[in-house]
Structure 1
Amino acid sequence: MITYQFISVLSEAKPHSHLIAPASSAHLPQSALIAEMRQQNSVADARFGCAPFARITLLPDALWHDTLTEGLLTALRPLLAAPVSAELVLDVTDIDEVVLAQVLRFLFNQAYRLSDLKLKKTDDAVRLTCITAFCLPEQQAKLESLFHQQQAIALGMVAARRLADIPSDRCTPQFVVDEAQKLCSASPALRCDVLDEKQIVEQGLGLLHAVGRGATCPPRLLTIHYDGVSDGPVRCYVGKGITFDTGGLWLKEGAGMYTMKYDMCGAADVLGLMLTVAELKLPVRIMGVLALAENAIGPDAMQPGTVATACNGITVEINNTDAEGRLVLADAIAWASQQHPNAHYIIDMATLTGAVVKALGYELSGLMTQDEPLRQALTQAGKRSGDEVWSLPLDARLKKQTDSAIADLCNTPANNAAISASAAWLLHHFCPPTIPWAHLDISGTALWRENGRSVASGRPIPLLVEHLLRDCA
Structure 2
Amino acid sequence: MITYQLITALSDAKPQSHLIARTTCNLLPKTALIAEMRDPDCITDTRFGCAPFARITLLPDALWHDSLTEELLTALRPLLASPASPDVVLDVTNINDVVLAQVLRFLFNQAHRLSDLKLKKTNESAVRLQHITALCLPEQQDRLEAIFHQQQAIAHGMVAARRLADMPSDRCTPEYVVEEAQKRCADFPALRCEVLDETQIIEQGLGLLHAVGKGASCPPRLLAIHYDGVTDGPVRCYVGKGITFDTGGLWLKEGAGMYTMKYDMCGAANVLGLMLTVAELALPVRIMGVLALAENAIGPDAMQPGTVARACNGTTVEINNTDAEGRLVLADAIAWASKRHPQAHYIIDMATLTGAVVKALGYELSGLMTQDEPLRQALTRAGKQSGDEVWSLPLDARLKKQTDSAIADLCNTPGNNAAISASAAWLLHHFCPPTIPWAHLDISGTALWRENGRSVASGRPVPLLVEHLLRDCV
Separation in 1 of the partners of 2:440 and 2:447? 14
Q: 1:83-94 counterparts in 2 under 5 A?
A: 83-94=83-94
Which secondary structure state, in structure 2, belongs to the residue aligned with residue 223 of structure 1? strand
Q: Which amino acid aligns with 1:336?
A: A
Q: Which amino acid aligns with 1:14?
A: K
2:114 is aligned to: 114
1:50 is aligned to: 50
Q: 1:230-309 counterparts in 2 under 5 A?
A: 230-309=231-310
Separation in 2 of the partners of 1:15 and 1:299? 63
2:414 matches 1:421: no
2:8 is aligned to: 8
2:220 is aligned to: 219
2:359 is aligned to: 358
Report the CA distance between 1:25 and its aligned residue.
Answer: 1.1
Report the CA distance between 1:41 and its aligned residue.
Answer: 2.6
Q: Which amino acid aligns with 1:275?
A: L
Q: Which amino acid aligns with 1:152?
A: A
Q: 1:115-264 counterparts in 2 under 5 A?
A: 115-124=115-124, 125-264=126-265
1:26 is aligned to: 26
Which secondary structure state, in structure 2, belongs to the residue aligned with residue 277 of structure 1? helix
1:456 is aligned to: 457
2:318 matches 1:339: no
Identical aligned residues as a percent: 86
Separation in 2 of the partners of 1:13 and 1:165? 34
User: How large is the Cα RMSD of the aligned pairs?
Assistant: 0.6
Report the CA distance between 1:39 and its aligned residue.
Answer: 3.1
Separation in 1 of the partners of 2:105 and 2:39? 30
Q: Which amino acid aligns with 1:72?
A: L
Which secondary structure state, in structure 2, belongs to the residue aligned with residue 427 of structure 1? helix
Report the CA distance between 1:28 and its aligned residue.
Answer: 1.1
Which secondary structure state, in structure 1, belongs to the residue aligned with residue 76 of structure 2? helix
Separation in 1 of the partners of 2:260 and 2:43? 33
Separation in 2 of the partners of 1:248 and 1:39? 56
Q: 1:97-108 counterparts in 2 under 5 A?
A: 97-108=97-108
Which secondary structure state, in structure 1, belongs to the residue aligned with residue 217 of structure 2? coil
When the two structures are superposed, what TM-score results if normalisation uses the length of structure 1?
1.00
Separation in 1 of the partners of 2:330 and 2:88? 42
Separation in 1 of the partners of 2:327 and 2:259? 20
Separation in 1 of the partners of 2:407 and 2:51? 75
Separation in 1 of the partners of 2:41 and 2:34? 13
Separation in 1 of the partners of 2:340 and 2:43? 54
Which secondary structure state, in structure 1, belongs to the residue aligned with residue 151 of structure 2? helix
Separation in 1 of the partners of 2:424 and 2:300? 27
Separation in 1 of the partners of 2:410 and 2:43? 55
1:407 is aligned to: 408
Cα deviation 1:157-211 (Å, max 9, x = unaligned): 0000000000000000000000000000111000000000000000000000000
- Could you tell which deviates more after superposition, 413-422 or 124-133? 124-133
Separation in 2 of the partners of 1:166 and 1:10? 40
**Structure 2 unaligned blocks of 5 or more:** none
Contact 2:247 2:258 in 1 (8 A): yes
Separation in 2 of the partners of 1:432 and 1:394? 16
Which secondary structure state, in structure 2, belongs to the residue aligned with residue 222 of structure 1? strand
Cα deviation 1:23-73 (Å, max 9, x = unaligned): 111111111111221137321110010011010000111100001001100
Which secondary structure state, in structure 2, belongs to the residue aligned with residue 193 of structure 1? strand
Separation in 2 of the partners of 1:198 and 1:40? 65
Which secondary structure state, in structure 2, belongs to the residue aligned with residue 72 of structure 1? helix
Separation in 2 of the partners of 1:142 and 1:24? 22
Q: Which amino acid aligns with 1:110?
A: Q
Separation in 2 of the partners of 1:400 and 1:25? 59
- Could you tell which deviates more after superposition, 25-34 or 336-345? 25-34
Report the CA distance between 1:156 and its aligned residue.
Answer: 0.3
Which secondary structure state, in structure 2, belongs to the residue aligned with residue 415 of structure 1? coil
Which secondary structure state, in structure 1, belongs to the residue aligned with residue 280 of structure 2? helix
Contact 2:7 2:135 in 1 (8 A): yes
Question: Runs ≥4 in structure 1, deviation > 6 angstroms?
Answer: none
Contact 2:40 2:61 in 1 (8 A): no
2:82 is aligned to: 82
Q: 1:52-71 counterparts in 2 under 5 A?
A: 52-71=52-71
Q: Which amino acid aligns with 1:243?
A: T
1:398 is aligned to: 399
Contact 2:39 2:60 in 1 (8 A): no
- Could you tell which deviates more after superposition, 28-37 or 106-115? 28-37
Separation in 1 of the partners of 2:215 and 2:43? 53
Separation in 2 of the partners of 1:396 and 1:44? 55
Which secondary structure state, in structure 2, belongs to the residue aligned with residue 439 of structure 1? strand
Contact 2:37 2:44 in 1 (8 A): yes
Report the CA distance between 1:308 and its aligned residue.
Answer: 0.2
Cα deviation 1:335-382 (Å, max 9, x = unaligned): 000000000000000000000000000000000000000000000000
Which secondary structure state, in structure 2, belongs to the residue aligned with residue 150 of structure 1? helix
Say how many residue pairs are matched: 473
Q: Which amino acid aligns with 1:70?
A: E
Which secondary structure state, in structure 1, belongs to the residue aligned with residue 193 of structure 2? strand
**Structure 1 unaligned blocks of 5 or more:** none
Separation in 2 of the partners of 1:7 and 1:152? 21
Separation in 2 of the partners of 1:155 and 1:438? 25
Separation in 2 of the partners of 1:39 and 1:111? 32
Q: Which amino acid aligns with 2:188?
A: S
Q: Which amino acid aligns with 1:385?
A: S
Q: Which amino acid aligns with 1:347?
A: I
Contact 2:350 2:443 in 1 (8 A): yes
Which secondary structure state, in structure 2, belongs to the residue aligned with residue 127 of structure 1? coil
Contact 2:17 2:88 in 1 (8 A): yes
Cα deviation 1:244-276 (Å, max 9, x = unaligned): 000000000000000000000000000000000
Separation in 2 of the partners of 1:40 and 1:80? 22
1:96 is aligned to: 96
Contact 2:292 2:330 in 1 (8 A): yes
Q: Which amino acid aligns with 2:9?
A: V
Separation in 2 of the partners of 1:228 and 1:39? 50
Separation in 1 of the partners of 2:37 and 2:260? 42
Cα deviation 1:267-288 (Å, max 9, x = unaligned): 0000000000000000000000
